[in-house]
Structure 1
């Protein structure tokens, strides 16, 4: 770091550099009147890519595979399928309450309880079983200007006609990304990543990076 001073350094210094991030959510809405597409039109290679199984998204679970026998599960209309699973999850997770730890889809199904984590983990797992590309978003939900931001998790599905569409079953929100949502992390294939670190930007968010002047503090 000597080049910062353009001279020989005779005193030991600690250099602290902070980075400020300004996040500007971009509202978007995908209504039921738009063509969400058909599940059968999703490319086979994309379906296979998103069928990876993990602890939180156990696609191979026989308990969850059995749900595919439900009448709504076979619907080919992506919008109607999302509506169907929305009703199913609200009926299945009878006790929407905050959990001490993230349970994962199978445990949420067996317990019939969970918070936003369990709603979206179960949604993602069932969507992937059906062959729908789906991923998990984490960040914050801000209810109003005076409220404290709440840690939150929701999802996105990939439509063959419209691209990524936001889905938040826990808050009964299908297709709408509002300024109340702040995205900090997107999980597609590794749900064990540390919370709230930016892994991949979303089309719903722009990041404005500022680099303040370094703060130089003498140690002695």
Structure 2
């Protein structure tokens, strides 16, 4: 594939990576609560999920979500339910006592945060639809496999850059978490947004082929 194609792909792709959604909200929240290093490590769960989706799409199975209402709906409702469940957990978390904040943070291991990132990403069929609808515009038809692999690698690298930006922002917001009222407000805001993302996903329609 040509250099010009890659140069067109990078800014368009990065705009998608930076879009505020449930996974970027997780990076923000995890960095706020556990620090930037934990948020970056946890995001590997998301990267793994997206890598799996890219492979599935490259093999042509992503088209199943466009062709089959049942397949799309099944993934959609599972993903929406998981987001709502996460949102309710945040809403019910409340505000810990100021003296308990630092002691409470290690309760969630990096592995558990990574699993959370993975399931939020893998439970959103719109991600595969992005790969199915967006990538083909930049593919080299004469070298499909290589060009898809290059675009996939670039997407994952740009996703890591976006994660780092959101984690950096979240780590600075974390300075305010020592105030229990602020912490409670952030939990409510994050929980409400998670539920809203779940509702938006539940209302999503299967694109026409």
TM-score, structure 2 length as denominator? 0.26
Q: Which has the higher helix share?
A: 2
- Identify the structure with bigger relative contact order (alpha carbons < 8 Å, sequence gap 6+): 2
Q: Which has the higher strand share?
A: 1
TM-score, structure 1 length as denominator? 0.25
